[in-house]
Amino acid sequence: MNQNHSCKASLALLLSLAAGGAIAQEITVIKVTGDLSVDPQAAVWQTAPTTEVAVFPQQMTKPRLTKASVDKMTAQAVTNGNSIAWRVSWQDDAANLNVDVGRFSDAVALEFPLTEAAPFMGHRGGGKVQILYWKGLWQKDIDEGFQDVQDVHPNYWSDLYWFAEGKAPHRVPEDFKNPFSHQWFIAKQAGNPGAVFTREQPAQELVAAGWGTLTPQPKSVTSAKGVWKDGKWTVVFSRPLATDDPNDYQFKAGEKGQMAFAVWQGGEGNRGGRKHWSAWTTYQMP
C-alpha cells in the first residue's frame, strides 16, 4: 500500500467513524462491594455487562500495519467506589510472550484523555492522554521469573560476566546481586524503564501529547494480570479512581467519560506503531 492510498484509506476510515458506523456501544461501569481483584476469572466479571469494541489496523503513519489480525475486542468495568477495574478480551490463536529478533510479545493498552482536545490517535498536537499498557512478556517475567537469553535460546553459553556470582551460564537477576556486576547492563544503567529485572506489575503507565512523545510515568498505581486460555487473552487493569498525580486520569462517580483501546498481536509481527486501535468509546460511571 503506497502512502497516497494509505492516506485515502485512513481518511475514509475516519469519516466512517465520525458518521458513527464503528462507534462501540457505551460501556456501563457497575458498582460492586469488596476489594477489586485483578484475577481475570474472578466471579465479579460474570455480572458485569460486556461491550464489543471494533479495532482497526494502524495505517495513519509509518510504521503501518497493513493487515488486520483481529477486528474486535470486549470490555467490562466495575468499581467499588475507591478503585476501578477494566477487563478486556480478544481472540489470539497463540500466546506470544518471549521476544527476540523478529519475535514480539502480545500486548494491550487502555487510553484516557487528559485534555478535551486529545485525539484517540496522536496525529496532531493540542491533546494529552494517559495510557495503561500491559505486555505479555512482563506477565511471564512475574509468573515464571525474569525471561533471559537462555529462555529463548537453551543452548546459549557465556563463560564470563564480571562480578557475577555462581556458575556459568549466569542467570539474571539471581547471579547479579553484586552492584558492580550491573555496570555491563547498559540499558539498566541508563535508567531505561524497560530494563527491569524484578518487575512488580506487568503493566506500565505512560503519557503522550502527539507523535514521538510517549513517556513512561515514574510512579504507577496500576495493577494488572493477563491470562491466555482457549485461544483468547483476558487482561484486567485495576487502579484508584482518583490520585494526586496530574498525569493520571481521574475517574468521578456519576460522570460519563471516554477511553480507547489498542491491541498488539505479537505472532503477527505487531510492535510499536504496528498495532490495532479503536476510536473513543464512551463509558458511564455509576
Whole-model pTM: value is 0.90
Q: What distances in angstroms separate CA 38 from CA 44, 149, 223, 225, one per listed residue?
A: 11, 29, 7, 6
Does any domain span residue 240? Answer: yes
Does any domain span residue 247? Answer: yes
Does any domain span residue 75? Answer: yes
State pLDDT tens for residues 38-90. Answer: 999 999 999 999 999 999 999 988 899 999 999 999 999 999 999 999 999 99
Contact 239, 220 (CB under 8 A): no
Does any domain span residue 255? Answer: yes
Give the range of the structural domain holding residue 65, as residue numbers without chain letter.
Answer: 26-146+199-284
Q: Which of 110, 75, 30 is nearest to 234 (CA)?
A: 75
Domain count of the fold of the chain: 1
Average pLDDT on 235-249 reads 98
Q: Which residues pair with 235 in a beta bridge?
A: 88, 226
Does any domain span residue 162? Answer: no
Does any domain span residue 45? Answer: yes
Does any domain span residue 252? Answer: yes
Task: Give the confidence band of 116 by pLDDT, cuts at 50, 70, 90.
Answer: confident
Does any domain span residue 14? Answer: no
Contact 261, 270 (CB under 8 A): no
The dihedral built from the CA positions of residue 43, 46, 51 and 54, taken in this order, carries a sign that is positive
